[in-house]
Amino acid sequence: ADVFTYDPGFTSTAACDSTITFIDGEKGELLHRGYPIDQLASQSHYLEVCYLLLYGELPSATQLEEFETLVTRHTMIHEQMHNFFRGFRRDAHPMATMVGVVGAMSAFYHDSTDINDDHQREVASIRLIAKMPTIAAMAYKYSIGQPFVYPRNDLDYASNFLNMCFSVPAEEYQANPILSRAMDRIFTLHADHEQNASTSTVRLASSSGANPFACIAAGIACLWGPAHGGANQACLEMLKEIGTVDRIPEFIARAKDKNDSYRLMGFGHRVYKNFDPRAKVMKQSADEVLELLGVDNNPILQVAKELERQALEDPYFAEKKLFPNVDFYSGIILEAMGFPTSMFTPIFALARTVGWISQWKEQLADPQLKIGRPRQLYLGETRRDYVDIENR
Ligand code: CMC
């Protein structure tokens, strides 16, 4: 008989080898190609981190300029894709629209679906990184009934995204450089995170030879769930539901109750058993952004800080090593910038695209690549004979 390891949730299975991202969950350390995330978030910027993840080294000034130009020149989407957006209901969740539109890219960019052509793999990577902000912004504009805004080549990646989300024909939008920087930092903090559920989904989809657009659409679908990328939306909704600091103990008690499935959103992580290093940077950024916008006494931020304090002092959270994760403070920043909660997970998806793509490329370059095909522990009926309907 076949012998295999039973590991539901893959808590102890390494499904691949990789040289991209390293996490030490006990220490709360996250490295991209060896560089600590806090250094990248404070000293680098998103497109440079994209280059690093994709190609393994920090770019020279010329390499970075070429890469940025290449991405900028691919930000428009095929004009006919506008009709595709228009087929959705206006009140569709932008993540639902994104799963469909990104999947449909394989119908619009046939040339880059050939995964055996090195050049086309490169083109597909650039197209996805470049077009994802356009697609996310269009999903948003469509959901609020405003006209689509075309990308602009004179703006940096984050400012262009803010412009596509907030500009209207009647009035030009001027992104505040501090907000653009905060947006860019949110992208950087979400860029990659080793073999999380959505990345593993992308790898599994790609292992069959599926095209890159289909694989990334699968990643987006997986990311949507509240235990994964959907936690940023769920977390802000939770903070609003709590509303005032005096109600915090009630919610902590629910999260601790064995008979209640309620969880504190933005808390806990499969790998981190210490502070999520991304959450630390995010918290600092939340303070900066709210101060800039003159809302540093924001009641939701007060609830978040007090909830964090009380949870960290609580023996339940200490014993289970539950700390705030990346999703805990990001929603506060995004809301202050003017995004509705439904846009939080699309922003995560657009930022994570480079991680998915880097891992997809790494996987395809592996000469040992096999189709991903887990086994199971069968607990059903043993063989039995079919019974006619009148005898059941
Ligand atoms: N609130 C209360 N209790 C929790 C929480 C929480 N947020 N997270 C885990 N626990 C408890 C859980 O009930 C379990 O207790 P017991 O051992 O008594 O059954 C124990 O801690 C271990 O939890 P688990 O579900 O076995 O751990 P996991 O590694 O399978 O789950 C997780 C990790 C992130 C899904 C989980 O912590 C969670 O649901 N957190 C809330 C959602 C969230 O914030 N997700 C974002 C994750 S980070 C970014 C991303 O991936 O998008």
pLDDT digits (tens, 9 = 90+) for 288-301: 888 888 876 788 88
What kind of architecture, by CATH, is found in domain 231-337?
Orthogonal Bundle (1.10)
- How far, in Å, is the centroid of ligand 1 from the Cα of 390? 48
- Residue with CA nearest ligand 1 atom 32: 269
Query: Does residue 331 line the site of ligand 1, with CB under 6 A?
Result: no
Say what the pTM is. Answer: 0.94
pLDDT of 2 strictly over 90:
no
The residues carrying an active-site annotation are 269, 327
Across residues 363-371, what is the average pLDDT? Answer: 94
Across residues 94-102, what is the average pLDDT? Answer: 96
Distances (CA, A) of 68 to 42, 147, 238: 19, 27, 38
- Residue with CA nearest ligand 1 atom 14: 320
Spatial contact of 15 and 203, defined as CB atoms under 8 Å apart = yes
- Residue with CA nearest ligand 1 atom 26: 270
Q: What is the pLDDT of residue 172?
A: 85
Best residue for ligand 1 mutational test, from 242, 325, 329 (most atoms within 8 Å of Cβ): 325
Which of 184 and 368 is assigned the larger pLDDT? 184
Query: Does residue 212 line the site of ligand 1, with CB under 6 A?
Result: no
Query: Does residue 52 line the site of ligand 1, with CB under 6 A?
Result: no
Q: Which of 156-165, 266-275, 348-357 has the lowest mean pLDDT?
A: 266-275
Spatial contact of 272 and 37, defined as CB atoms under 8 Å apart = no
Q: How many residues does the chain have?
A: 392
Protein fold of 35-226+346-364 = Citrate Synthase; domain 1 (1.10.580)
Query: Does residue 263 line the site of ligand 1, with CB under 6 A?
Result: yes
Q: What is the pLDDT of residue 298?
A: 80
Q: What is the pLDDT of residue 80?
A: 94
Query: Does residue 229 line the site of ligand 1, with CB under 6 A?
Result: yes
Report the helix count and the strand count for the chain, using DSSP H and E.
17, 3
Ligand 1 atom index nearest CA of 255: 2
Q: What is the pLDDT of residue 1?
A: 66
Beta-strand ranges (E) seen in the chain are 21-24, 29-32, 35-36
- Nearby residues of 387 by Cβ (< 8 Å), 6 or more positions away: none
User: pLDDT (tens digit, 9 = 90+) per residue, 155-176?
Assistant: 999 999 999 999 999 988 998 9
Query: Does residue 325 line the site of ligand 1, with CB under 6 A?
Result: yes
- Residue with CA nearest ligand 1 atom 20: 320
Distance in angstroms (rounded) separating the CA atoms of residues 133 and 76: 10
Q: What is the pLDDT of residue 223?
A: 97
User: pLDDT (tens digit, 9 = 90+) per residue, 135-154?
Assistant: 999 999 999 999 999 999 99
Distance in angstroms (rounded) separating the CA atoms of residues 294 and 299: 13
Across residues 213-237, what is the average pLDDT? Answer: 95
**Could you tell me the pLDDT band of residue 129, with boundaries at 50, 70 and 90?**
very high
- Residue with CA nearest ligand 1 atom 22: 320
Q: What is the pLDDT of residue 270?
A: 93
Distance in angstroms (rounded) separating the CA atoms of residues 279 and 323: 9
Query: Does residue 328 line the site of ligand 1, with CB under 6 A?
Result: no
Give the start-to-end residue ranges of the domains of the chain. 35-226+346-364, 231-337
Mean pLDDT of the chain: 95
- How far, in Å, is the centroid of ligand 1 from the Cα of 320? 9
